[in-house]
Amino acid sequence: MIELTSSEIDRLGRVGDLLLPPEPGLPAASDVLRNGRLLLAALKARPDHVEQVRRVCVALVEPTAESIGRLFAEDPQTMGAAANIVAGAYFMDEGVRSAIGYPGQLQNPAGLEDAADQLEGVLEPMMAREPFYRRET
């Protein structure tokens, strides 16, 4: 089970405030991420990022724009993974999605006519060949 300490959650919230600066009508990342629930959900979706997130928490004891920029330059994979988790968790928030007009991922299957258009030309070669049957010997 993936867990984060309260100091890791707080630190990631402060990183979020620097990566996603406050905008009118949007909540601060530190407010959205405060209880850690969305960070854990993001890490559950990407468990391969857990160690990188922990390394960022160790490296950025007092996150600043400069320290984040330096870590991006020195270790882009680690900082990139942590940035993805922080941003992903932020945009999972219902209030954030509503404020930016994003309803979330919706199922929108193709209609029958669209599916038929995609199959056009696929069956013709099979129908054009001579019939054959399996014969038992």
What pLDDT digit, counting tens, does each position of 71-115 carry? 999 999 999 999 999 999 999 999 999 999 998 888 888 787 777
Identify whether 100 is part of a domain: yes
Q: pLDDT-derived band of residue 47, with 50, 70 and 90 as boundaries?
A: very high
Identify whether 117 is part of a domain: no
| Residue 88 structural domain | 6-104
Token digits for 88?
């992903």
- 22-47: buried (b, 16+ CB within 10 Å) or exposed (e) per residue? eeeebbbbbbbbbebebbbebbeeee
The predicted structure's pLDDT at residue 115 = 72
Identify whether 72 is part of a domain: yes
Query: What average pLDDT score do residues 45-52 get?
Result: 97
Number of domains observed in the structure of the chain: 1
Identify whether 125 is part of a domain: no
Alpha-carbon distance of 29 to 36, in angstroms, equals 11
The predicted structure's pLDDT at residue 71 = 96
Phi, psi of 90 (to 5 degrees): -60, -45
Identify whether 16 is part of a domain: yes
Identify whether 28 is part of a domain: yes
Q: pLDDT: is 106 or 19 the higher one? A: 19
Query: What average pLDDT score do residues 5-26 get?
Result: 96
pTM over 0.95: no
The predicted structure's pLDDT at residue 137 = 65
